[in-house]
Every structure is written in structure tokens, then in C-alpha cells.
Structure 1
Amino acid sequence: MKTKKKEEIKPPPITPEVKLHDSYWLAEIAIIILVSAIICILMYPHILTSPKVYHVGDISDRNIKASTDLLVEDVKLTKELREKAVRAVRDVYDFDPTDSHLISRIHEAFKFARENLPENPDQEDVEKLKKGFFEILSIPPDDKIFNSLYMAHFSSEIEQRLISIIEPIIKKGVISDKRLLAQKIRKGIIIHDIISGNEIKVTKLSSFYDKREVKEIILKKKKEIIEETGNKRLAELIGNMAEILIQPNITFNSRETELRKEIAKNSVKPSYFKVKKGEMIVREGEKITPEILLKLNAQRKALKEEKGISKLIGMFVLVCSMLGVTYFIGSLSTGKKSHRRLKDLIFTGLMLLIVYLIVLFSNFIAEEFSRTFQNFSPNALRFIIPVATGSMLVSIFLGINSAIGFSFVASVISAIVLKRHIEYFIYFFVNSLISAYGVKSCRERIVFIKTGLKVGLVNIILAISAEILLGLTSSVEIIIAVISAFMGGIFSGIVTTGLQPLIESVFGYTSDIKLLELASLDQPLLQELMVRAPGTYHHSVIVSNMVEAAAHEIGANPLLAKVAAYYHDIGKMKKPLYFIENQIGTENKHEKLAPSMSALILISHVKDGVEIAKKHKLGQEIIDIIQQHHGTSLITYFYEKAKAQAEKSGKALPNEADFRYPGPKPQTKEAGLVMLADSVEAACRSLSDPTPARIKGTVQNIINKIFADGQLDECELTLKDLNKIAKSFNKTLAGIFHHRIEYPEPVDPKEQKKRLANGTSDQIRKADTRDKEKAFKTEDKNGLRRLGMSG
């Protein structure tokens, strides 16, 4: 039995769409990196330069001012203070009050000797005893001392007399030679008890013994023993043992002493003198003195720190991360396509650069102004910087979600420029958020100024709080801060007013302000449409009403959808009579044309509409909807007509692609709405008896066909949205095509009898309506039930 080879799983092919998406993704990353790099280079302008190195005696070739506030170390004074601190440190001596447990060793040694004293001694036993005894005492063996002790059977009396001499001496402490401390004792020494850890300062040599004094004490004790016992040999034995066992237990700790000197040295902070930013360090032609050189070196060090590669990389990563995360979160919330996101990213990056330059320039002006007028602090003047301008513009064109992220990034960068004060970050972040929310639904330019006034009032509270946190509480300072903060809000509104139309023009954005202007039916382009293609104009007005109501239901932009609906068919102005809604009382021009030519004419109205929209600068969003409102849908009537003609003549069937619109398919909710409303309105207009049931059936049928054809695959419309759209369309169209009361006309009596015989016209019409409604219900039984829109 042959086994089938396992089919190799191949990865999906890389389509042009995937490649294009990847290229957009790479372009987005590149823009984020580029913007971050530009900001970092502008933040550290000295990164590309290297200051000249001067030496004492050189002549300056230019005027050099302090580029920032400098703290210059006074090296000479610092050195003197550190040397003084080192001299003040006292030497440390370790004190062992037990001398490594000497007393306990004496007890143990004598006990060992008495317990191991041999009854029948031989040479080997004696040697073993001697070795063990002296090992316990940790002193070299001494035959004379051992023999004397052995003869005395290591008596307890010798043990007790020996301890009585040693114990008080080691408790007080023994040093090798007091004469070595003659100089040090004046400022005192530190005696460190290694057992308890306690330390005492000693300033008298009488506080401890040295070896010379110990000998004198032992000699005295020997005399006392002789006087008491009359045993000179016993006194000599005890005295010799005491002299051997007592060793210095106060020793100099050089390591600890040096460590404390180092700590004292390092604890002395460098002494500085201040050089203010802008202060002249050296003039052209002036000789470099040691003091000037200190200032120049301090400036070079400050510049070096600013342009340190690690600092630059850190700032780059910070800016790059903030901008990247903010952008991608904003793009996810908007759901825009890659090419539109790329434009948004370029705009966001440009706005960030503009805000940064505004902050940089404003900060420079504030500092120069404060140097000229000493009463004006640069901290108070900085509140006038219109950082909120960027957030207002981003909110207008990209939405509030993107504006929130932008506000955070712009505020962080602004705070970094302004000496990293957290107070400035809070000030700019709060007023940027308020500004962004103030213009998120802006439909008049006066709103910019009104928002600026509101922000100015909030800025006053923020500025007073920031002044207090910065420690600047003088009345003059606070008054200047209040005025600056209020003017900062107004300037933000004024700058936004000036930049808004410029950005619309450069980036092709369409703000609500422009949409409101375009929504006026007095617009010359709409007036021209009404004159040249009145049917199309009327159709566009109805479609605008439909999409506006539906947009409210699904969370789309009602204003954008409405305005786009007004202009979606402006391309029909070039050949108005080729479109059925404009053929009033005239013959149908398509009857004399080949189906393929008719299809070309219909398709061309999209291209013509895009050209007209660009000429009149309607904005990219409206141009996109004009281009997408037919998607790639099939012109069914002329395609079927061409197929029938081909079958009849025996020619090859027409290519379906020739009868489809070129696309692209709708990319946004608004574009999808216009496509649906355009087709639904045209279909409902053709109904001979537009009852609510027939309208509902037609709406469901048209939406179902568009959905099944895949025209809504690339926009964000969900099945739930389609259900809401259908209900909204039904409601709007029912109001437009509602029945009017028919007033009866006088009839001839003979005609009346005839009608009574065959049924009245009203009865016939009602029956016909019931039949048609029943037919629509049967046809649409499977209509949009699978989309959740039936019933």
C-alpha cells in the first residue's frame, strides 16, 4: 500500500499589499528616529563642536561667555580644607582587655598540668606535659620555668599569684612605648575596645602602661612575694612568667586610621565660586590667568557632560520611545490606513519640532530679558511659552486621543529644556490637555481665542502653584508670573489660529471649520452643481441627510459624512445628461451608445470629481471619499446588456473588469456610509410606490449586495454598524418618500358605475400594494438576515 507524501506547507505569498504595508511601517520607524535625532541634536548643539583648549599665559582669540551657570571649583582652598580635616583625625589603637583570653589560658594550662602530672615520670611523659602546657599558654617552652613549676606540682598558689599580677595590668592596657605617643597625645588618640566596640578618647599617657612600667610593677610584686613568703625562687618564677605572658594589648591600627583620614578628606566638599550664565569669562586679546583657566575648564567640562555620548543616547532613546508609543497608541485608536498614518506621523513629528523650537527660542528671550531687566526672573517669564499650540493643532486634525499623547511628550521635552523642573512639566501638561479638549469639536475660529482665554485663567492658578514650589514668592515675581501665564494661554490661541489654515493647506487635512464652510449650500461649487446637474444636486442633498443621521448612530464623523455626500457626485457636472437623474424630459443618451462606452462615461465621473475637488481644494478626506464612493463595484446594467449583445452576436463575452469602477474600496466609515447611501437613495427613488415595507426591503437588498460584493472589506464598518445604518436609512427615507393624501376628482356617473362593478381605484391600489409588499417580504426573506438586519 502506497503512502501519500505529506503535502509541504508553504508560507502564504508576499503580495504587493503586504510589501506596501511593510514599506509604510519602515517609513514610520524612520520618521520617528529622524525626528528624535533632530530634537536630540538641537537639545545638545555642542555635540558637533569642540571648544579650544587654553593654557595659562595664552591670549584669548575671542570673547567667551559662560554658556550656562557654572560652579567653578576653588582647587587651592579645597586642598587646604581637606588637609586640615586629615590633620584633625586622631590615630586609632585597638585594645584587647582580655588579651585573647590570657587569664582563661593560664587556668586551663595549670589544670592540664595538674591532671596529667605523671606518678612514675619518664622522660617522654615529662616532655609531653611540657609541650602541652606551653602550647596552651601560647608562649615558647622554658625549661627553667617548667622545672620549677614541675617541682611545685603546678600549685594553685603559683597560679593565683600569677593571675593577680597579670589581670589588673592587662585590663588597664599595655602599649609598647609611651614615648612614641608624645606628639599624638596632645590632640588625643582613640582607644577602640575590640570586644565591646566602644571607643574612648585618651589625652593622658597615664591612662595605660608601657612595657617599661610593666617591668617596674612586676619587680615590685616580686619584692612583695619575698616579703610575704621569704621564698625568693617563687618570686623569681612568678615574675619571669608574668613578664613573658604580659604583652602589649594596645596596638596601633594603621588601616583604620588611614580609612578615617580618607573619609575625613572626602567629607570635605569642594569649594566653588559661581559664574552666571552669560557672564564674560575672558575677552578677546586678554591673557589667560589661573583663575580664568579654572572657569574655562569648568565650561569645557560642562559642555563635555552635555555632549556625552551616553547622555545623548539616553535622551534619544527617551524621546524615541515616547514619540513611538504615543504615535502607535494614537494610530490604533483612530484605525487609519498606513498611508494616512504616515502623513499623521510626519505632522506629529513636525509639530513636536515646532514646539521644541518655540520653547528654545522663548527660553532664550526670557533669559536675555531677565539679564537686561534684573527685576524680571526668567522662571516667571517662561509661563508665557505657548506649548499648548501643538496640542490644540493635533487635537483639531488627529483627534483628542493623539493630542493627549502629544501633550505628554511635548511637556516632557519642554521641561527638559527648562532645566528639568517638574513644575514646568505639570504646568505645560495640564494647560495642553485643557487646550486639546477645548478645541476637539471646534467649528469656529473664534473658539481658538475663547479656549486660549480659558487656558490663560487656568494657567494663572498653575503658575502661582509652580512659583511657590520653585521658591519664588516675592510679590513682583508672582505678578509677572500671573501676567505671563495668562498671556501664554492667549498666545496659544492666536498662534493656533494662524497655523491652522496653513497646516490644512500643506498636509491636506480637513478640519471641522473647513467642513462647515464647505457645508454651506451657498458654496459656488454647489451652486454650479445645482444649475448644471439639478437632479444630481437633489440626490446629493438627500444622501447627505441619510449619512448624517446614520453617522450619529455608528460613531462616525457626521459633519465629514454630510459634506462628502454633498460633493461626492460633482464629477457628473461634466456630462450631466448622461446620468438618469438629470434626464428630465429628454431622451436617454445611452440608448445610442455601446454598453462599454456608457460604462466609461459613468466611471469617468469619479475621476472628474477628484479633479474638480482638487481644483477647488476641498481637502484630502473629501477627495478620498469621492474616489472611494463606488469602490470597485460592477455597473451591472451595462455589463448585462453587453453580455446579452455578445451572446446574440456570437462574440466573446465582455471582461467584467472593464465594467467595474477602479476603486479603491472605501477606507473609512464615512466613505462606506456615502457608498451605501448613494446606492440606496438611487434604488428607492426608482420605486413606483415607495411604501415603508418596499423601502425597507430595498435598503436591505442594496446593503446586502454591497456587503456580499466585498466593497466594505477595507473600512471599519461592523455588522452591528450595518444594522444601525439600515434602520437609520429606513427612518430617513420613510420621511422623504411618505404618502400624501390623494384628493378625489369628479367622475362621470357612467364611469362610477363601471368602477363599482370592477372595484374602486383605491381598492385596486391597496390590493396591488399588498401584493407588492408580500412579494418584497418573500424576496428579502433571506436578505440581510445573515447580517442581523432582518425583521
Structure 2
Amino acid sequence: MGKRPSIDYQNWWQNIKHHRYIRFFLFVLIGVITYGLLVTNVIPETLEVEPGSISDQDIRSPITIEHKTETERLKQLAYESIGPIYTKKTQYVENQIARINEIFQTIRQVQREVSERIDEIEALEAELELIAEEDVVDSSITEEDIPNEITLEEQVERVRSIIARQTREEISDETLITLLQASPENLEAAQETTASAIYDAMNEEINMDRTEEAKNEAERKVVNSAVDSSLFRSMIELVRFGIVANYMLDDAATEEARNNAVDAVDPVMIREGQLLVEEGQMVTSETYNQLALVGLLDDHSNVYPFVGLAIIVILLISMLAYYLGDAKTSLQTNNTHLLMYVVIYTLTLVILKLISFAQISEVTGVTYIVPVAMGTMLITILLHSRVALFTAMIFSIVASVIFNGQSSGILDYSHGIYVFFSSVAGVFFLSRSNKVFRILQAGLFVGALNVLVIIAILLLRSGQFGWMEISFNLGFGFLSGFIAAVLTLGLLPFLEAAFGVLSTTKLIELSNPNHPLLRKILLEAPGTYHHSVFVANLAEGACEAVGANGLLARVGAYYHDLGKTKRPHFFIENQMKIDNPHDKISPQLSKTIIIAHPYDGVDMLKEYKMPREIIGIAEQHHGTTLLKYFYFKAMQNGEKEIPEEEFRYPGPKAQSREAAIVGIADCVEAAVRSMNKPSSAKIEALVKKIITDRLEDGQFDECDLTLKELNKIAKSICETLQGTFHSRIEYPDEVDEKIEDEKKEGDQ
């Protein structure tokens, strides 16, 4: 027959397309293909250079990384740049004055004790004299009871036992004796002068180097005071003891300041794209270390980029698998369409990879010629626009890796953005129509959008570009859209034929009256042919009313009763001037013949390798409806009750909106054809009754028609029927002929 069967009719695909793991295998295949095409773009570049050699190219960093050695060096310099921090200890002056006051208070305390001892001795001596004068023999007080006076040595020891240990070790006995022998007035003056001198001196910052100077200055103040000169030596010793360094090294503050200085040092970063060595520049030891740090001198395999790429690919394919499994498109269950998606995806990626090799040329912007919109345009036409939009995102990510040849890093964001907009542009323009001229228009639209995106990219780079460079970039971008349209038009017929996709072009081809099957219907069952044409008109309008594929419904209606050609005279539309053969056979036999016609048609359609959508309409247009006429006839003839299931079509029920609408139109056309004097009201009532009966019978349970859409379908069918069965004005000649015929009939 000269037909090339689609893959759905190939035995090897028939054997595996319904395998439980076939979808998993296809997604794994997409992942392997993606990884294989991208892996060469993530292999770390290595250079053969030595310290002291001259670089023959500009070398830029492929990654952003911290130069930890340099960072540590700067932190060490910052740490060492902070000198010792000294802090004035304000509490020192209070502590030292408290010590001096303690000495004077202790001196006064001992002086009081000495004075009390003297008073006690004098009192006892006076009492003894009184006893002696009165010649008291038996007295309780004797000379032995009179205590001794406290000696200076004892007074000194007493003072030392009271004052703090550090103080008693620093103060000499001479000073203590002098103070012990001083009068209260002189002692008070000495205390005030000494404390004042210490306070004045220690109000200033006194470090270890200035301690002696501060003591000498305070000593001069003591000497120049109005205190009794006999106390000068003691006061000078106390002043020199009291004055200590109060401007001390603060270890905690020093460490904190140094740590703050270290924290303030920003990490030394080698940025992605940073120029490390210019062409013709000598490679110093420092730049050599930088090259080693960014991985350009690694002589061992680095697996990290490969693992990272694998993770990215797994994430992309997992998201794709989830989306295709969740989105309500043919890819959700149709593995043939999924295989076609794999082919389009792979073909697009191969083209991206081949174009990426042009980066080695010196032609400016040549990579913008990549016709990536071809992939999304094919997916939009053959599958679904939503799938194409999701795929555009994947293409943009893949392109940012594939076109990284002129980028210092792993990703080239400019090409990623360019590919995204280019891919999406074709989807938007073809989402409502995919006719040939529309594809060419889409190519122009993609090219124009490519130009705008390239202009935006050039402006974002803020570089100095010559007119020649700009012209090349824009020219290649516009040419990309044209090439994408040409490739789409060229590949579309092959993909349609290979995967049995029912595109608009294919549907138009199948609607040609010269198609062998349509000619078979016309010649062998002319009544069925005209019935099918009428059903096609009704179904197309109803489909367009609810947003279904009207052209598919029309073509499906042409072939839906192909099975009637096997026994055409058993169907009323083909019974011209002959007796009805059903009147001579049993209802059960009639039922068998009538019910067989959808499946006889399916067999013939499969023999001609017709698209499965057309086969589905032929098989499903009656669903599981009941042959009421023959069922009731059998009930009348039979003695026992007959189950309805014996007179129902075996199905399946309509699986698509188009199949359901063709079934409604088929039933309506047959019913209206049998009406006597059809009117608008009668037609409308009949159409609604047929749809209601099918709805209540559950014939729409397996397709996604809503009640709102069923109302639209009824309205559309009624409008079409009213246009066909409108009242016609009878012209005079026709009236005369009609009267003449009536007269002849009356004469007869």
C-alpha cells in the first residue's frame, strides 16, 4: 500500500512499550544522554607551566576560591600590627591610699593602747601609794600587779601584726617608730600630706618607666609641705611605698584588639574569571601557587565536577519525570509519545553540542546561531505547549554548561538566558496554531526576540563593542530563528510518520476524499458516506465550541462507520429500494451484525496503519450503549427476560472528548434523519434527550467532558442542524409542479 508504518506497529516496540520499567528506562536514557553530552564541558582544564616560564595565553581562574595562605598571612600581619595595650588602673590609687590610711590608723590604735597602759600604770601606782600611806597591811594590790610600759619594739611589733603583710614587709622600723612618737596633730598632718601626694601622683598615668619619676615628684611635695620636718623621712618612705605603676599592660584588651584586627581582614578571594597571568607574562612562584590553588595544575583526577554534574542531571531528570507524570498530557501514559520526546530532546541537545564546537573559531557570536527553538516548537506541535515550556527551562540550564568554552567558569549565564528566551518564544507563537505559515512566522518571531535578548546581553556586559561585532551577534541570533523554523518543517513529517502523531497536516491528508478507505465507503456504502459527512459537520462544530480538536473529530467521523462496508445493506442508510434484511432474521442475529461494525472498522483501520486516535473514535463512538430497537424486539418475541448486557456494545466507552462528541453527533444524525417534519423545537428536544440519556447511562464517565461543555455541545449541534433543516420557500414553478402531481395522483 506504499505506507510506512509508525513505531506503534513495530513488533519490537509493541513488545516493550507497556513494560513496567520502560518509562524508567526512557528517563534514565535521557539522563545518560544529557550527562554524556555535558561531561566534557566540566572536565577541569590543566596547564603545563613551571615557575619562571612565560605564559603563551591569558589564564583566568575557572572558579571562585579563597586564597587561604594569603588570607592567613594578612591576618598574621594584622595581629602583629597591634601593639600592647595599656590601661590606667583607677582602683590602684584607692588601694594605695587605703594602705597608707591603714598604717596611720594602726599607729593611732597602738598609741591609744600605749596611752591606756600608761594610765593603768599610773592608777595602780597611785593606789599603792595610798595604801602605803594608810599602812594597809592586807592589800590585794602589790607592785607585781603593776604592768610594764609597752616598749617601742613592742609597739612596732604590734603595728606590724595589725597591718597587711605586704605593707609590713615594705615599711621600715624607723618609719614606724617615728610615727609612733609623733603627736596626734603631726600625725594627722602627715597622713593628709602623704595621701594627697600619692593621690596627685597616681591621678596621672604611671607606667613602669615613670614610677621613679613620679615618686621623686611626690617626694618634693612632701619636703615642701608644712609638716614637722622630723616626719619627712617617714613620709617620704610612705609616699615612695604608696606610689606604684597604674598604667599597666592589659593582656585581655590587647588580645581582644588583635582578634578584632584579625576578624576585620577580609578573605583573599580568587574570583571566577579573574586574570591570573597575562599572555607573555612570566609565571612567578606566587602566580604558580594561585594556578595550583584553582586546580589548573592538578596532575590527579578531580571527581568533584563529575559528581556535581551527576547531581544536577539527576535533579533535572527527576523534575522532568515528576512533571510529565503529573501533567495532564499524552506523555502521562503514552510511552510512544515519551519515546518521541526523548528523540526530540536528544536531537536538540546534539545540535547544541555541535554548535558549541564553533566556539574555537574566531567568528564573533557564532554560537548564537544555535536553533534551539526547533526542539520546543516540535514539542509544542507534536505534544503539548506546557511540556515545551518546561523543556525550555532544561535546555537553558544545559546550554549554560555546553557553551562554557569562552567562559572562565562552569556556567555561561548569557547563553543560558539566550537559549531560554529563544526556546520559549517558539512555544508562545505556536500555542494556538501550528499551520505551516504559522511555523515560518514563529521562526521570524524567534529571530526578532533573539535580537532583543542579544542586545540586552551586550548592554549588561557594559563592554566596548564595534559595529562589526554587534552586527555578527545580531545576525546570527536572527538566523537562529529562521533555521529553527526550517528544521521544524523538515523534521515534522518524519516524526509524525515515525511515531504515528496525528498532526494537522496528517489530518488534512486523511480527509482527502481520494483516500482508499473513504473511496471504499463512498462506493460500497454511499448512504454511510453521506451520513459520515453529516456527522463530521456536527462533530467539528461541537468540538470547536468546547476547545477540543475539531479537525480530529471531523476526520474521525469520516472513518467511524468504516465497518459498515462489510455488510452495508444491513444498515438503513444504505437500504435504497430494497427490503430490510433485519425483518427476516432474529433480533439476536441482527444485534450481532450491528454491534460488529465498529470493530470491523477497527480491524480495517489497523490494516491500513491508521493513527490510533482515528481508530479510537471508530471503536469508542458507540461506547457501551444499548441497541434498544432490537432489545425490545427480542423482549417481545422471547418468553423470558433478556439481560441488557447481551444487547450492549462491548465498548470501550469514549476515552476522549472527540470520541464522545462523534458518538453524540452519530446518534443525533440518525435520529433527526428519521424525524417527520423536523422543527427547531423538536430538534433541540431530541438533542438534549440523546445527551441526557448518554450521560445517565455513564457513557461520559471515562472522558473529561463537563456539564457546561455538554450544554455547549448541544447548542452547537442544534445550530448546525437548524441551518441544514431550515424551511425553504417554494417558488411558483415548484408550486405548479406540486399541484399537477397531486392532480395526477388524485386521478389515479
Q: Against the structure 1 CA distance between its residues 684 and 121, is the aligned structure 2 distance closer, same or farther, given a 3 Å change threshold?
A: farther
CA drift at 1:710: 1.0
Structure 1 counterpart of 2:652, one-letter code: P
Q: Against the structure 1 CA distance between its residues 565 and 338, is the aligned structure 2 distance closer, same or farther, given a 3 Å change threshold?
A: same
Give the alignment partner of residue 663 of structure 2, picking from 675, 688, 692.
675
Work out whether 1:468 is the aligned partner of 2:459.
Answer: yes
Partner of 1:485: 477
Give the alignment partner of residue 724 of structure 2, picking from 729, 736, 740.
736
Partner of 1:103: 93
CA drift at 1:618: 3.6
CA drift at 1:108: 6.0
Give the alignment partner of residue 575 of structure 2, picking from 568, 583, 590.
583
Work out whether 1:684 is the aligned partner of 2:672.
Answer: yes
CA drift at 1:675: 0.5
Contact 1:337–1:667, Cα closer than 8 Å, also in 2: no
Structure 2 counterpart of 1:327, one-letter code: L
Give the alignment partner of residue 403 of structure 1, picking from 372, 377, 388.
388
Q: Counterparts of 1:403-442 in structure 2 under 5 Å?
A: 403-419=388-404, 420-442=411-433
Work out whether 1:614 is the aligned partner of 2:650.
Answer: no
Distance in 1 (alpha carbons) for counterparts of 2:294 and 2:331: 56
Q: Against the structure 1 CA distance between its residues 504 and 72, is the aligned structure 2 distance closer, same or farther, given a 3 Å change threshold?
A: closer
Distance in 2 (alpha carbons) for counterparts of 1:445 and 1:476: 34
Contact 1:32–1:320, Cα closer than 8 Å, also in 2: no
Partner of 1:666: 654
Percent of matched pairs sharing the same residue: 28
CA drift at 1:223: 5.6
Provide the secondary structure at the position in 2 that maps to 1:359.
helix
Q: Against the structure 1 CA distance between its residues 251 and 428, is the aligned structure 2 distance closer, same or farther, given a 3 Å change threshold?
A: closer
- List gaps (5 residues or longer) in structure 1: 1-22, 57-64, 175-209, 278-288, 755-791
Of the two structures, which has the highest relative contact order with CA contacts closer than 8 Å and spacing of 6 or more? 2
Partner of 1:760: none
CA drift at 1:226: 4.0
Structure 2 counterpart of 1:418, one-letter code: F
Partner of 2:28: 34
Contact 1:423–1:469, Cα closer than 8 Å, also in 2: no
Contact 1:95–1:249, Cα closer than 8 Å, also in 2: yes
Partner of 1:320: 318
Provide the secondary structure at the position in 2 that maps to 1:607.
helix
Q: Against the structure 1 CA distance between its residues 255 and 101, is the aligned structure 2 distance closer, same or farther, given a 3 Å change threshold?
A: same
CA drift at 1:718: 1.8
CA drift at 1:40: 5.7
Distance in 2 (alpha carbons) for counterparts of 1:53 and 1:455: 40
Work out whether 1:635 is the aligned partner of 2:627.
Answer: yes
Q: Against the structure 1 CA distance between its residues 270 and 553, is the aligned structure 2 distance closer, same or farther, given a 3 Å change threshold?
A: closer
Q: Against the structure 1 CA distance between its residues 548 and 113, is the aligned structure 2 distance closer, same or farther, given a 3 Å change threshold?
A: farther
Work out whether 1:92 is the aligned partner of 2:82.
Answer: yes
Structure 2 counterpart of 1:392, one-letter code: M
Distance in 1 (alpha carbons) for counterparts of 2:162 and 2:468: 90
Provide the secondary structure at the position in 2 that maps to 1:101.
helix
Aligned residues: 648
Contact 1:85–1:268, Cα closer than 8 Å, also in 2: no
Contact 2:96–2:243, Cα closer than 8 Å, also in 1: no
Structure 2 counterpart of 1:568, one-letter code: H
Give the alignment partner of residue 523 of structure 1, picking from 510, 515, 519.
515
Contact 1:630–1:665, Cα closer than 8 Å, also in 2: yes
Alpha-carbon RMSD:
4.8
Structure 1 counterpart of 2:473, one-letter code: A
Contact 1:384–1:487, Cα closer than 8 Å, also in 2: yes
CA drift at 1:483: 1.7
Q: Against the structure 1 CA distance between its residues 500 and 275, is the aligned structure 2 distance closer, same or farther, given a 3 Å change threshold?
A: farther
CA drift at 1:291: 12
Work out whether 1:307 is the aligned partner of 2:306.
Answer: yes
CA drift at 1:546: 0.8
Give the alignment partner of residue 349 of structure 2, picking from 356, 376, 380.
356
Distance in 2 (alpha carbons) for counterparts of 1:441 and 1:751: 59
Give the alignment partner of residue 159 of structure 1, picking from 181, 195, 204.
195
Distance in 2 (alpha carbons) for counterparts of 1:477 and 1:150: 101
Structure 2 counterpart of 1:677, one-letter code: A
Q: Counterparts of 1:39-188 in structure 2 under 5 Å?
A: 41-42=35-36, 45=39, 86=76, 90-106=80-96, 142=169, 144=171, 152=187, 155-170=191-206, 174=207
Partner of 1:235: 236
Q: Against the structure 1 CA distance between its residues 457 and 626, is the aligned structure 2 distance closer, same or farther, given a 3 Å change threshold?
A: same
Q: Against the structure 1 CA distance between its residues 337 and 478, is the aligned structure 2 distance closer, same or farther, given a 3 Å change threshold?
A: closer
Contact 1:31–1:346, Cα closer than 8 Å, also in 2: no
Q: Against the structure 1 CA distance between its residues 300 and 511, is the aligned structure 2 distance closer, same or farther, given a 3 Å change threshold?
A: farther
Per-residue CA deviation, residues 320-343 of structure 1 (Å, 9 max, x unaligned), is 23x256436642xx5x69534x55
Structure 1 counterpart of 2:429, one-letter code: G
Partner of 1:721: 709
CA drift at 1:673: 0.5
Distance in 2 (alpha carbons) for counterparts of 1:495 and 1:723: 42
Q: Against the structure 1 CA distance between its residues 611 and 298, is the aligned structure 2 distance closer, same or farther, given a 3 Å change threshold?
A: farther
Distance in 2 (alpha carbons) for counterparts of 1:578 and 1:128: 145
Distance in 2 (alpha carbons) for counterparts of 1:646 and 1:155: 142
Q: Against the structure 1 CA distance between its residues 711 and 147, is the aligned structure 2 distance closer, same or farther, given a 3 Å change threshold?
A: farther
Structure 1 counterpart of 2:324, one-letter code: Y
Distance in 1 (alpha carbons) for counterparts of 2:586 and 2:105: 136
Q: Against the structure 1 CA distance between its residues 681 and 269, is the aligned structure 2 distance closer, same or farther, given a 3 Å change threshold?
A: closer
Provide the secondary structure at the position in 1 that maps to 2:625.
coil
Per-residue CA deviation, residues 62-111 of structure 1 (Å, 9 max, x unaligned), is xxx99x97659999x99799769856864433434422532344456667
Q: Against the structure 1 CA distance between its residues 458 and 737, is the aligned structure 2 distance closer, same or farther, given a 3 Å change threshold?
A: same
Give the alignment partner of residue 443 of structure 2, picking from 445, 452, 455.
452
Q: Against the structure 1 CA distance between its residues 30 and 394, is the aligned structure 2 distance closer, same or farther, given a 3 Å change threshold?
A: same
Distance in 1 (alpha carbons) for counterparts of 2:686 and 2:558: 23
Contact 1:93–1:252, Cα closer than 8 Å, also in 2: no
- List gaps (5 residues or longer) in structure 2: 1-16, 51-55, 115-155, 181-186, 280-287, 405-410
> Mean alpha-carbon deviation: is it higher for 690-699 or for 299-308?
299-308
Q: Against the structure 1 CA distance between its residues 578 and 122, is the aligned structure 2 distance closer, same or farther, given a 3 Å change threshold?
A: farther
Per-residue CA deviation, residues 237-283 of structure 1 (Å, 9 max, x unaligned), is 2112214x557446697746875896699855569976999xxxxxx
CA drift at 1:35: 5.8
Provide the secondary structure at the position in 2 that maps to 1:520.
coil
Q: Counterparts of 1:331-346 in structure 2 under 5 Å?
A: 331=328, 339-340=333-334, 343-346=336-339
Distance in 2 (alpha carbons) for counterparts of 1:730 and 1:406: 42
Distance in 2 (alpha carbons) for counterparts of 1:129 and 1:536: 139
Provide the secondary structure at the position in 1 that maps to 2:83.
strand
Work out whether 1:556 is the aligned partner of 2:548.
Answer: yes
